Structure 1
Amino acid sequence: MTPVMPVTPVTAWRVRGRVRVRRFAAVLLSATLLLVLQAVPAAVAHAADSRHDVVTWAASADRMGDGVADRGYRLVVRTSVGGSDLRIRLTNAFGDRPVTFDSVYAGIRQQGAALVPGSNRRLGFDGAGSVTVPAGATAISDALPGRLPAATDLVVSLHSPDAAGPASGHGMAMQTSYTTQGDHTAEESADHWTGSTGGTTGSWFYLDAVSVRTSEATGAVVELGDSITDGWQSTTDLNRRWPDYLARRLGQADTAVKGVANAGISGNKVLADGAGLSALNRLQRDVLSHPGVRTVFLFEGVNDIKAHTGVTAEDMIAGYREIVRRAHAAGKCVIGATVAPFKGWPEWDPAAESVRQDVNAFIRNSGEFDAVTDFDRILRSPYDPERILPFLDGGDHIHPNDKGMQAMADAVDLTALAC
């Protein structure tokens, strides 16, 4: 396969007074990224036989507000593993009627809502240029020939002429995307996506996964979690959620696990629906259905524990065991993570803390997980182990800041992910 040159962000070249260097860098970047999504030479067709699809990005769907007819979305997502033959998955999981997408494009972001010239290409669905997704269903695009590098800002632009009723998507993206009225998906400029004709959104609408084709030895890990995994209190637009830091580590490591899919939903629980379906009820759609998944990373429980609904450690343990059983039955490894401290959060009390301690003892000592990552030990203060260390605290005493997110990612044993 034709190699793709390393990508140097334009911003790294923006040195005051060095106009020629900046212009050269922009040209180099455009030339480099024009190789992205080019047709794969026929000479490598045989090698493709030993490859498979691996999820490179995901965001768990939930019920959003009502869809808007003739609305366009320009959605910015960050890839993890690189590969060829990009596919996307559109979701209408929470819709109460079919929704049609009559124009869907994928390109590479240059800056803001603008795309690298020549990179924006139309996606098909069973050979057609449009697709109607039934209520409660998803639709996977045809493969887009060409290569997509790791750690790339991919932009998926989509338009629906008839969206109405509950929309499906991911509410807390921690990433700025763009909206407009009318179909401007094919345009690479930002003109209709910004200013008086466009707008911004902090959510991802209708898009819930992206995959690429890569070596059959390469796999992915899916982090099943709540708002901490979703990235709340990390810095918006900088990809500083703990799964993002983990993706950067995996990208530099000699490991077969390269794909990272974030299945965090703010407020999510293991046992009860509410902020999204429970972890038990969304395990198949948000985790096991993604291609190339090797490992499930389970980090949930604090929302069940702090809700004061009478949930016991035994209830939580039964939920964890069911997730492990189903993941193992699907041939996946399961990493368990201890529940982090949250003293100082309004719902904390000694009874909830007692449940947390019992749950963590099970996670550490039961032997039912293939491996354990002790986030409690990494994040807790040595002076008050029921609290997050202030240096790592995002300010609300339950969500880590950027440093805390990085500390969590650094604590993950990469060899354990490969099982």
Structure 2
Amino acid sequence: MTLTVTVLSGQAPASDSGTATRRHDVVTWGASADRLGEGVAGRGYRLVVHTSVGGDSVRIRLSNAFGDRPVTFDSVYAGRQKSGAELVRGSNKRLTFDGARSVTVPAGQTVHTDPLPGRLAAGSDLVISVHSPDAAGPATGHGMAMATSYVTQGDHTADESASDWTTRTGSWFYVDAVTVRTGATVGAVVALGDSITDGWQSSTDLNRRWPDYLSRRLSTSSVTTIKGVANEGISGNKVLADGAGQSAIDRLDRDVLSHPGVRTVFLFEGINDIKAHTGVTAQDLINGYREIIKRSRDAGLCVVGATVGPYKGWSEWDEAGEAVRQEVNAFIRGSGEFDGVADFDRALRSPYDPGRMLPFLDNGDHLHPNDKGMRAMADAVDLAGLDCSSAWPGPATVASASFGPQRRKPS
């Protein structure tokens, strides 16, 4: 569901919760940064992203996290998508950096634009156009967007027509987050995961990843003020080891803790550690989960753990890996160390063979859910259980907080 609120309008900011002065920034869209080949000087990118929570004072985060040299952006715009690379007339607005039209981002760093006047609707298809005159060396971006964006040579960022944006790409370049200003009671959840969270095998351009379905549920819910959703999945990602992106442990600060307005970390990873046949034990994974839990709680966040889904029939499945998965899931469900437990294994598995995904929900590779499976996962989440009131309730109460249920080779 896309809300029919004017995007990037010139309207005065609405008062959230009746208190205009009590406002803060909340992440409305995110995508984990990784290395994406080599940067190309003079290239422009028109990037289509789908937001979650609405608000005003939109800010875009540009990332050079994996660059080995500075990169300059001399023109950055944001507008509303009409169709493909074409924008709604009059919606494309220039973004600035401390009042300047250009910015140079040092290697390994990120930078936010100045706030953009006007209001961004919840559930918007926001189009961010960026141009760099000097990009070179490793480019930073997100490989598997499951969404179509556009590439051109030369600076056409101000154009609202699609005439110069004829080359398509399935990746996002240099942009890794969008934030809005909204009411102080509104928060966000960050989904930290692998290719299932990234949306592999969901329908391209239809926003049918499980975090998208979760976002649509949250947008109409009255049981929680968590409305923002940032999808920080990377295809092939592991909890413990770098490879397909930095490990969940190594990227936690940048991909989760650095975003404003986050109240909850939703941890759904482990299958790639298990099926890689590298000798990772259940205790190894549990130790990794505990590190993520501790660092997230130290930052004042609630932590939800999701059970690892079935994968029998996938080429790397074996009995030893299944035993590790079952032991890990027993910890997630029963240890009481998470503030909440989303039982995705139960939501996806076949009642006739619990090690295998229900065929109705399986895209066919026996690891990745189809659109129906993605929705089943989101529907398994108790929305009220996402929010532990911004403070960990402590070990005495956490046990009762559970709730139901790459341009690389996907995982």
Q: TM-score with structure 2 length normalisation?
A: 0.92
Matched residue SS, 2:58: strand
Query: What is the rounded CA distance, in whole Å, between the counterparts of 2:125 and 2:296 in structure 1?
Result: 30
How do 1:265-276 and structure 2 match up within 5 A? 265-276=234-245
* AA partner of residue 418 (structure 1): D
Displacement of 1:322 in angstroms is: 0.5
**1:262 correspondence with 2:231:** yes
Q: Decide which structure has greater helix share.
A: 1
Quick one: distance in 2 between partners of 1:183 and 1:72? 6
- Please say if residues 342 and 386 of structure 1, whose CA atoms lie closer than 8 Å, have aligned partners that are also in contact: yes
TM-score normalised over the length of structure 1:
0.90
Q: 1:249 to 1:42 in 2, by over 3 A?
A: closer
| Cα separation, 2, equivalents of 1:313 and 1:219 | 32
Q: Give 2:98's aligned amino acid.
A: D
- In the alignment, the residues of structure 1 paired with residue 157 and residue 19 of structure 2 have an alpha-carbon distance, to the nearest angstrom, of 33
Task: Give the secondary-structure state (helix, strand or coil) at the position aligned to 1:191.
Answer: coil
Whether 1:158 and 2:130 are equivalent positions in the alignment is yes
Alpha-carbon shift at residue 6 of structure 1 (Å): 5.5
% identity of equivalent residues:
73
Does the CA contact (< 8 Å) of 1:37 and 1:84 recur in 2?
no
List, as ranges, runs of 4+ consecutive aligned residues in structure 1 with deviation greater than 6 Å: 41-44
- Compute the displacement of 1:40 (Å): 2.7
Question: In the alignment, which residue of structure 2 is the partner of 1:118?
Answer: 90
Q: What is the distance in 1 between the residues matched to 2:120 and 2:102?
A: 23
Residue 309 (structure 1) aligned with residue 292 (structure 2):
no
1:380 equivalent in structure 2: 349
Q: In structure 2, do the counterparts of structure 1 residues 225 and 41 end up closer, same or farther at CA, with 3 Å as the change threshold?
A: closer
Letter in 2 for 1:241: R
Give the conservation status (yes or no) of the 8 Å contact 2:56–2:117: yes
* Candidates 149, 154, 160, aligned match of 2:121: 149
In the TM superposition, residue 67 of structure 1 has moved relative to its aligned partner by: 0.5
SS at match of 1:192: coil
1:193 alignment partner, SS class: coil
Q: 1:90 aligns to what? A: 62
Decide which structure has the larger Cα Rg and report it: 1
Please tell me whether the aligned partners of residues 78 and 127 of structure 2 are also in contact (alpha carbons under 8 angstroms). Answer: yes
Amino acid at match of 1:281: D
Q: Does 1:365 align with 2:334?
A: yes
Alignment check: 8 A CA contact 2:13 2:56 kept: no
Match of 2:359 in 1: 390
Alignment of 1:318-333 (within 5 A): 318-333=287-302
1:173 corresponds to: 145
Q: CA shift at 1:127, angstroms?
A: 1.2
Consecutive unaligned residues of structure 1, counting only runs of 5 or more, are 8-31
Query: 1:281 — aligned with what?
Result: 250
2:45, 2:117 → 1: CA distance?
Answer: 23
Contact 2:332 2:341 in 1 (8 A): yes
Distance apart, 1:36 and its partner CA: 2.9
Within 5 Å, give how 1:13-52 maps onto structure 2: 33=6, 36-38=8-10, 40=12, 47-52=19-24
Letter in 2 for 1:135: A
Alpha-carbon distance between aligned partners in 1 of 2:321 and 2:301, rounded to the nearest angstrom:
31
Query: RMSD of aligned C-alpha atoms?
Result: 1.5
Give me the whole-angstrom Cα distance separating, in 1, the residues matched to 2:383 and 2:291.
Answer: 25
Query: 1: distance between equivalents of 2:374 and 2:11?
Result: 38
CA distance in 2, matches of 1:349, 1:61: 32
Find the aligned partners of 1:363 and 1:382 in 2 and give their Cα distance.
20
Report the residue type matching 2:58 in the other structure.
Answer: L
User: What are the Cα deviations for residues 77-107 of structure 1, in whole angstroms up to 9, with x where unaligned?
Assistant: 0010000000010000000100000000000
1:204-243 per-residue CA deviation (whole Å, 9 max, x = no partner) reads: 0000000000000000000000000000000000000000
Measured in 1, the distance between the counterparts of 2:183 and 2:14 equals 17
Instruction: Provide the C-alpha distance between the structure 1 equivalents of 2:14 and 2:180, rounded to a whole number of angstroms.
Output: 18
Deviation at 1:145, TM superposition (A): 1.0
Equivalent residues in 2 for 1:54-93, closer than 5 Å: 54-93=26-65
Q: Residue 260 of structure 1 aligns to a residue in which SS?
A: strand
Please tell me whether the aligned partners of residues 69 and 162 of structure 1 are also in contact (alpha carbons under 8 angstroms).
yes
- Residue by residue over 1:101-150, the C-alpha shift from the partner in whole angstroms, topping out at 9 and shown as x without a partner, is 00000000011100010100000111111110000000111100110000
Query: 2:107 matched to which residue of 1?
Result: 135
- Select the residue among 214, 238, 248 that pairs with 2:182: 214
User: Does the 8 A contact of 1:37 with 1:144 survive in 2?
Assistant: no
Amino acid aligned to 1:275: A
SS for the counterpart of 2:164 is helix
Whole-angstrom distance in 2 between the partners of 1:86 and 1:189: 22
Is the partner of 1:56 in helix, strand or coil?
A: strand
Given the superposition, is the C-alpha separation of residues 216 and 308 from structure 1 closer, same or farther in structure 2, using an over 3 Å criterion? same
Post-superposition offset of 1:39: 5.4
Matches within 5 A, 1:183-194: 183-194=155-166
Paired residues for 1:295-306 under 5 Å: 295-306=264-275
Give distance in 2, aligned partners of 1:41 and 1:396: 47
Which residue of 1 is the match for residue 306 of structure 2?
337
**Paired residue for 1:416?**
385
The answer as to 2:232 corresponding to 1:253 is no
> What one-letter code is carried by the residue in structure 2 that aligns with 1:265?
I
Cα distance, 1:49 vs structure 2: 2.7
